[in-house]
Amino acid sequence: MKDGNGGSRRGTGLHLAVIMDGNGRWATARGRPRTAGHRAGAESVRRVVEAAPELGVTTLTLYAFSADNWQRPPREVSALMGLFRLYLLSERETCAKHGIRLSVIGRRDRLPAAVRRAISEAETATARARALHLRIAVDYSARDAILRAAARLGGTACTREEFSALLGEVDHERGCAPDVDLLIRTGGEQRLSDFLLWECAYAELVFTPRMWPDFGRADLEAAIAEFHARERRFGRLPQAVAS
């Protein structure tokens, strides 16, 4: 990838974040219930997770359920929680086998007990994996996380790195995840929706009209190729001007 001067940042992997949008609209357009779209979206998760390491991604953060999603109809929320639990139970052995460390960020106190157990078991089973860190954001709000981290400081000054670590602590992260390099949002909307606001300060953004259930390896390759074609300056001058 390119650094602030247009060069290659060797030895570093890509942190890719994805807002997986469009499941419900995908299903509605086909005359199917919204839950069918969420099930189809789970298949897209498998495709992207499988392709990510081959494309240089070492950290992958997926926005699965926001803090605001509790406002959806109870039946849909229940179906989403059931699908999430099923995914954790069915994929943890596969993740461990392929070197994928799975962790969940966000609040846990509002999640069903069965989901919390599945999270704990999946995180334990994959803790030693190193090929890819798969982070799933559930009951997640970036603004709430920033507020909770700031409250812990109690007026004490800290560095950006220290605050990043504190953000991880309040959202059950073990260690500090790297800043996001590339954020992809599917489904045609063009906003961050309270996702990784601190970590996306200098992220490159790619918005695609493709609904998440239709998103596949070719789409991921295209987005990453676009990322590599961009010059990331981080406030510095373009390379041509600087030289």
- The catalytic residues are 21, 69
> Would you call 13 helix, strand, or coil by DSSP?
coil
The amino acid occupying position 165 is A
Return the residue matching tokens 């800290």: 158
Distance CA 77, CA 91 (A): 21
104: left (phi over 0), alpha (psi -120 to 50) or beta: beta
Cβ–Cβ under 8 Å, residues 38 and 83 = yes
Distance CA 10, CA 16 (A): 17
Cβ–Cβ under 8 Å, residues 19 and 210 = no
> Would you call 190 helix, strand, or coil by DSSP?
coil
Nearest one of 164, 184, 238 to 14, comparing CA atoms: 184
Show the tokens assigned to 52.
């990510």
